[in-house]
Amino acid sequence: MATTRTRTDHDSMGELQVPIDAMYSASTQRAVQNFPISGRSVSWEIIHAFAMLKKAAAETNNELDKLDAKRTRMIVKACSTIAKALENPATRPDMMKNFPVDIFQTGSGTSTNVNFNEVVANIISVSAGKKLGSFAPVHPNDHVNMGQSSNDTFPTAVQIAAASHIKKVMVPDIKKLAAALHRKAKQFDTIVKIGRTHLQDATPIRLGQEFSGFASQMDFGVERGLKAVQSLAANLPIGGTAVGTGINTHPRFASLVAKRLSKEIGVRFREAANHFEAQASRDCVVEAHGDLRTIAISLSKIASDIRFMGSGPRCGIHELELPAIQPGSSIMPGKVNPVLVESVMQVAMKVSGNDVTIGIGGFGGAGSLMDLNVAQPMMSDCLLESIKIIGNVSRLFAEDCVKGIKANRKAIKQTVEQSLMLGTALAPVIGYDQASKIAKACYKSGQTIREYCLEHDILPAAELDKLLDVTSMTYPH
């Protein structure tokens, strides 16, 4: 059997064997050994946020005369190297090998913070011609972690990652879907169809009106996404260090770090108004994900309605023709299924599940312990996953489904005149009870409302034509 070559590194607990070329050191290796649980490390988005945070922290400590210029430049360069590698999908996998700690680790995220500090220190050691693990000339705790604690850096990194990705990725993707739905609303505005409440025939509605409702849901989704950004960005825990008191940091450190992050990332970050709340709870994550859950539920409602209207093609409603993007069955030739719509609905289910998990993580006692929430890595994983899948499926739904939807005008026209609910337009003239009797009689005879009324001289033909004008029924009177 092949054996992995190792080197001897040490931390406050003593010596430990570490893979010989690993850019991390002993404390990270302990976490790797302690948590072989899911096989999934903390997301690259959070590691990237750590790079932005540690860079801003080093520059701020230099500004406050806490860190010398030479070490500041080294830390900034190392963090920039990590961030640049993570931003490129081609180099991301190799860089992420340096951050192997499992999601289900210490609940504060300490292992990931320590991991990042060690990697930065080792990158600098190699650049300086020193041995890996020597921590010369930059020490992971004394310099990279200066003025910080895992208890304020990990939640800050999560909020940075989530807020920036919601604003820069998820919200633009939702805007694409909203725009596609608005275009369909305009395209379908003159098509009158039968409304369906309780999945039963109702009064006429324009297909464009239904799609305008879908578009409005996604407009609200954009607003909810931006609200989630605000919930996360306006309450950074950085500066609270261990328990919120700010021990071992400068009073101006947090505000200056937030200012630098805002300029660098393009999101307005602010120091928490109360560091004890910001570190003892994860209410901002619970709140932000609640908005994401609402967006996901909107997506599911839209997808479900579109799937229903597209059912068929011969034995369903088939008011809509959805783009055929792949064969639908391994046994039924020619079958095409609404696969992308079903993907949207599954995303909504997953996000709803993540919301439950995040809510449990936010509970005092279940996910928290006094002055610190200890379910943070798990909560961050759910949060970043929801952001990613909502954005991705919104974009694909817009491009590969909504954009190509066509109205089946023939099927729609056949059903409108047959609806017994057209009798609703007669009620203001002949009364609810009489209109109800006519609808029931038509149901038994198979006649339309118009045919029955003409046969029984209920109203003059001209007045009947005016009252049963289905287009006029879709406008307020």
- Scored b (16 or more CB within 10 A) or e, 381-411 reads bbbbebbbbbbebbbbbbbebbbebebbeeb
The sign one gets for the Cα dihedral 304, 310, 313, 314 is positive
* 25: alpha, beta or left? (left if phi > 0; alpha if psi -120 to 50): beta
Alpha helix ranges (H) inside 197-328: 207-233, 253-265, 275-280, 283-309
Give the pair of three-digit tokens for residue 153. 């850096």
Cβ partners under 8 Å of residue 159, min gap 6: 232, 233, 235, 236, 237, 269, 284, 285
Partners of 200 in beta bridges: 197
CA end-to-end distance (rounded Å), the chain: 83
Q: Return the number of other C-beta atoms located less than 10 Å from residue 199's C-beta.
A: 8
Name the active-site residue from 38, 80, 329, 472.
329
Q: How many CA atoms lie within 13 A of 339 on its CB side?
A: 11
Whether residue 329 lies in the annotated active site: yes
Q: Cα-flanking dihedrals φ and ψ of residue 189, to 5°? A: -65, -30
Q: What is the CA radius of gyration of the chain?
A: 30
Using omega within 30 degrees of 0 as the cis cutoff, is the peptide bond preceding 137 cis? yes
How far apart (Å, rounded) are the C-alpha atoms in residues 435 and 458? 10
Helices 207-233 & 150-165 angle (0-180, nearest 10): 150
Q: Return the number of other C-beta atoms located less than 10 Å from residue 443's C-beta.
A: 10
Task: Identify which of 214, 224, 226, 206 has the alpha carbon closest to the alpha carbon of residue 182.
Answer: 214
DSSP state of 191: -
Token look-up 């609806």 returns: 419
Whether residue 198 lies in the annotated active site: yes
Name the active-site residue from 12, 198, 330, 477.
198
Give the pair of three-digit tokens for residue 286. 């619970």
Q: Decide: residue 144, CB within 10 A, 0-12 exposed, 13-18 middle, 19+ buried.
A: buried
How far apart (Å, rounded) are the C-alpha atoms in residues 375 and 367? 5
Task: Identify which of 305, 300, 166 has the alpha carbon closest to the alpha carbon of residue 224.
Answer: 166
* The one-letter amino acid at 463: E
Q: Return the number of other C-beta atoms located less than 10 Å from residue 287's C-beta.
A: 17
How far apart (Å, rounded) are the C-alpha atoms in residues 128 and 123? 9
Active site residues: 198, 329
